[in-house]
């Protein structure tokens, strides 16, 4: 398989502005038409609004267990970044291909799609599936629709390859990523009469202090043998909003917080502990001043950790296809933990590097695409005989 077709496809894919806040349907239509050109049918799984969709397609005998190539079609925003050229019009500079999504992760999708002719050339003994999602960058929302579809219609798969940028290294684990929003409602009044109101910011400070104590506690007890660079679960507050004026007691305060968990169940435990503190200590104190005071905590998203499974089928295959011996863990989240939670042997391996993604003038090297094309070629060869 020539990497030139991967470059060509990447250029087309970068041309669709699929920042997560926008529709990805033009990109999905393009991929659908590309596959249809080879007689491959796509299953489109739309979101509730109909403005975004997943694409799932299969080459080979769908009734048998097979291999999944997983990628997300959305990209992170370019707002606030000073790009030297149009981020959605790929340009080449020596070995580098620049454009939003080149590394994360349209490069992988382009290599997977470039493999279609080779996949069709001779019959596959085990099928290869394309699982292309929307809204990965905003909490891995789309992929659940793909997993539901697979659970309803297909046998359990042999391995899932998530093509996030790893420099074509094999990544066997990452932390979970949960996003939470706590809304504190007290009672506003003039700052000269705080006795008549309930200061939502003051009470939010107590709640954030509680979160800070969790963060310190976790930090003081690092996990021995952890594969993660930061070997403990982290908790942080990232955004605080509240109040209207210096001389007013604020009736509202909301803060967004984040948990990066090293293992499953940690988010539930921490949220439960936080709610117990909130309901037991903070809300009763607020209600003394205003009966309708409240504290509400919502989980905006909860991407499960991708737990290392040393020697798993997906890991063994990825090491062989990538020609690598070592398996590492990364700091960013992905859809891998969601596939794994659904019982599928999963690994992350893709072209480009996370340090080259999400940045101004994001790029991928042609060398990385070549490596990925080689990886897919070896997978196809394996699927032909497996
Ligand atoms: Zn990504």
Residues 1/111, Cβ–Cβ less than 8 Å: no
pLDDT band of residue 357 (cuts 50, 70, 90) is confident
- pLDDT of residue 1 exceeding 70: no
Residues 237/158, Cβ–Cβ less than 8 Å: no
pLDDT at 332: 84
> CA nearest 361: which of 2, 14, 12, 5?
14
pLDDT at 102: 98
Distance 108 CA to ligand 1 centre (A): 10
Distance 61 CA to ligand 1 centre (A): 29
pLDDT band of residue 2 (cuts 50, 70, 90) is low
Distance 90 CA to ligand 1 centre (A): 18
Distance 344 CA to ligand 1 centre (A): 19
From residue 252, give the alpha-carbon distance in Å to each of 197, 200, 372: 11, 5, 51
Give the C-alpha separation, 239 to 267, whole Å: 19
Distance 94 CA to ligand 1 centre (A): 24
Distance 50 CA to ligand 1 centre (A): 22
Residues 159/68, Cβ–Cβ less than 8 Å: yes
From residue 227, give the alpha-carbon distance in Å to each of 209, 327, 329, 354: 29, 10, 6, 18
Preceding peptide of 148 cis, ω within 30°: no
- pLDDT of residue 356 exceeding 90: no
pLDDT single digits (tens) 216-252: 999 999 999 998 989 999 999 999 999 999 999 999 9
Domains, the chain, ordered by start: 3-173+306-385 (3.40.630.10), 177-303 (3.30.70.360)
- pLDDT of residue 4 exceeding 90: no
> CA nearest 200: which of 278, 269, 133, 116?
278
pLDDT band of residue 331 (cuts 50, 70, 90) is confident
| Sheet (strand 294-303) strand order | 234-242, 252-260, 177-185, 294-303
**How many other C-beta atoms lie within 10 A of the C-beta of residue 111?**
31
- pLDDT of residue 386 exceeding 80: no
Distance 101 CA to ligand 1 centre (A): 8
Distance 206 CA to ligand 1 centre (A): 35
Q: Compute the Cα dihedral for 153, 156, 162, 163 and give only its sign.
A: negative
pLDDT single digits (tens) 112-141: 999 999 999 999 999 999 999 999 999 999
Percent over 90 (pLDDT), the chain? 95
pLDDT single digits (tens) 144-181: 999 999 999 999 999 999 999 999 999 999 999 999 99
pLDDT band of residue 358 (cuts 50, 70, 90) is confident
Name the phi and psi angles at 200, rounded to 5.
-60, -35
**Mean pLDDT, the chain, integer:** 96
Distance 375 CA to ligand 1 centre (A): 19
pLDDT single digits (tens) 256-306: 999 999 999 999 999 999 999 999 999 999 999 999 999 999 999 999 999
Distance 214 CA to ligand 1 centre (A): 29
Q: Average pLDDT of 15-34?
A: 98
DSSP structure class, residue 288: H
Distance 350 CA to ligand 1 centre (A): 10
pLDDT single digits (tens) 56-98: 999 999 999 999 999 999 999 999 999 999 999 999 999 999 9
pLDDT band of residue 204 (cuts 50, 70, 90) is very high
Distance 34 CA to ligand 1 centre (A): 22
């Amino acid at each position: 398989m020539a990497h030139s077709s991967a470059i060509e496809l990447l250029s087309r894919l970068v041309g669709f502005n699929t920042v997560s806040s926008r529709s990805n349907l033009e990109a999905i239509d393009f991929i659908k038409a590309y596959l249809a050109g080879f007689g491959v049918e796509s299953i489109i799984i739309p979101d509730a609004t109909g403005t975004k969709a997943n694409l799932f397609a299969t080459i080979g005998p769908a009734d048998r267990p097979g291999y999944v190539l997983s990628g997300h079609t959305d990209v992170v925003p370019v707002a606030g970044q000073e790009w030297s050229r149009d981020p959605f019009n790929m340009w080449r500079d020596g070995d580098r291909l620049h454009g939003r999504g080149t590394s994360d992760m349209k490069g992988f999708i382009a290599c997977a799609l470039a493999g279609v002719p080779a996949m069709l050339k001779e019959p596959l003994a085990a099928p290869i599936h394309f699982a292309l999602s929307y809204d990965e960058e905003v909490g891995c929302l789309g992929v659940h629709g793909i997993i539901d579809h697979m659970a309803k219609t297909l046998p359990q798969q042999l391995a899932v390859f998530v093509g996030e940028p790893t420099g074509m290294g094999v990544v066997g684990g990452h932390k979970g990523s949960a996003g939470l929003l706590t809304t504190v409602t007290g009672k506003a009044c003039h700052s000269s009469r705080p006795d008549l109101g309930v200061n939502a910011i003051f009470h939010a400070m107590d709640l954030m202090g509680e979160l800070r104590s969790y963060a310190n506690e976790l930090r003081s007890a690092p996990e021995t043998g952890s594969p993660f660079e930061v070997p403990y679960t982290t908790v942080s507050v990232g955004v605080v909003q509240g109040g209207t004026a210096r001389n007013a007691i604020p009736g509202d305060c909301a803060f967004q917080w984040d948990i990066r968990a090293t293992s499953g169940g940690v988010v539930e435990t921490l949220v439960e502990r936080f709610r117990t503190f909130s309901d037991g200590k903070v809300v009763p104190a607020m209600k003394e001043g205003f009966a309708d005071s409240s504290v509400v905590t919502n989980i905006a998203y909860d991407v499960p950790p991708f737990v290392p499974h040393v020697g798993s089928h997906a890991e063994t295959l990825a090491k062989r296809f990538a020609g690598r011996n070592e398996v590492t863990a990364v700091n960013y989240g992905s859809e891998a933990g969601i596939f794994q939670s659904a019982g599928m042997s999963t690994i992350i391996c893709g072209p480009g590097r996370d340090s080259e993604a999400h940045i101004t003038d994001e790029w991928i090297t042609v060398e990385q695409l070549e490596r990925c094309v080689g990886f897919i070629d070896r997978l196809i060869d394996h699927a032909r005989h497996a």
